A and B are shown apart, each in its own frame.
Chain A
Amino acid sequence: MKPIFPTTLLLVEDSPGDVRLTQEAFREANQAVRLHVAWDGAEAMAFLNRQGANINAPRPDLILLDLNLPKMDGRQVLAQIKEDANLKTIPTVILTTSVAEADIDKSYQLQANCYLNKPVELEAFEALVKSINDFWLTRVKLPQQRPVG
Chain B
Amino acid sequence: MTEQRIKTLLLVEDNAGDVRLTQEAFRTANKSVDLRVASDGVEAIAFLKREGKYANAPRPDLILLDLNLPKMGGHGVLAFIKNDDGLKMIPTVVLSCSDAEADIVKSYQLQANCYLTKPGLLDAFETVVKGISDFWLARAELPAQRLTA
Instruction: Name A82-112 residues within 8 Å CB distance of B.
Output: 82, 85, 88-91, 99, 101, 104-105, 108-109, 111
Q: Chain A contacts of B19 at CB under 8 A?
A: none
Interface size on A, residues (CB 8 A): 30
Q: Chain B contacts of A85 at CB under 8 A?
A: 109
Question: Interface stretch among B9-17, B26-34, B37-45, B111-119?
Answer: B111-119
Task: Contact check, B111 vs A131: say whether CB atoms are below 8 A apart.
Answer: no
Q: Which residue of A lies closest to B105 (CB)?
A: A143
Interface centre among B128, B136, B139, B142 (most CB of A within 10 A): B139
Verify if B89 is at the interface (C-beta below 8 Å from A). Answer: yes
Q: Chain B contacts of A101 at CB under 8 A?
A: 143-144
Verify if A128 is at the interface (C-beta below 8 Å from B). Answer: yes
Task: Contact check, B114 vs A108: say whether CB atoms are below 8 A apart.
Answer: no
Known: A105-B143, A143-B108. A134 touches B91 (CB 8 A): no
Interface size on B, residues (CB 8 A): 29
Interface centre among A88, A111, A140, A142 (most CB of B within 10 A): A140
Verify if A29 is at the interface (C-beta below 8 Å from B). Answer: no
Verify if B7 is at the interface (C-beta below 8 Å from A). Answer: no
Q: Chain A contacts of B116 at CB under 8 A?
A: 139-141
Task: Contact check, A134 vs B131: say whether CB atoms are below 8 A apart.
Answer: yes
In the assembled complex, the CB of B96 is this many whole angstroms from the nearest CB of chain A, namely 9
Verify if B141 is at the interface (C-beta below 8 Å from A). Answer: yes
A114 to B135, CA, bound (A): 10
Task: Contact check, B91 vs A108: say whether CB atoms are below 8 A apart.
Answer: yes
Verify if A76 is at the interface (C-beta below 8 Å from B). Answer: no
Task: Contact check, B114 vs A89: say whether CB atoms are below 8 A apart.
Answer: no
A114 to B114, CA, bound (A): 9
Task: Contact check, B141 vs A139: say whether CB atoms are below 8 A apart.
Answer: no
What per-residue 1/0 map shows which CB atoms of B109-133 lie under 8 Å from chain A? 1010111110000000000100100
Q: Chain A contacts of B91 at CB under 8 A?
A: 108, 114
Verify if B49 is at the interface (C-beta below 8 Å from A). Answer: no
Task: Contact check, B135 vs A131: say whether CB atoms are below 8 A apart.
Answer: yes
What per-residue 1/0 map shows which CB atoms of B19-61 lie under 8 Å from chain A? 0000000000000000000000000000000000000000000
Known: A89-B105, A89-B108, A131-B135. A114 touches B88 (CB 8 A): no
In the assembled complex, the CB of B89 is this many whole angstroms from the nearest CB of chain A, namely 4
A116 to B111, CA, bound (A): 18
A residues neighboring B (CB under 8 Å): 82, 85, 88-91, 99, 101, 104-105, 108-109, 111, 113-117, 124, 128, 131, 134-136, 139-144
B residues neighboring A (CB under 8 Å): 1, 82, 88-91, 99, 101, 104-105, 108-109, 111, 113-117, 128, 131, 134-136, 139-144
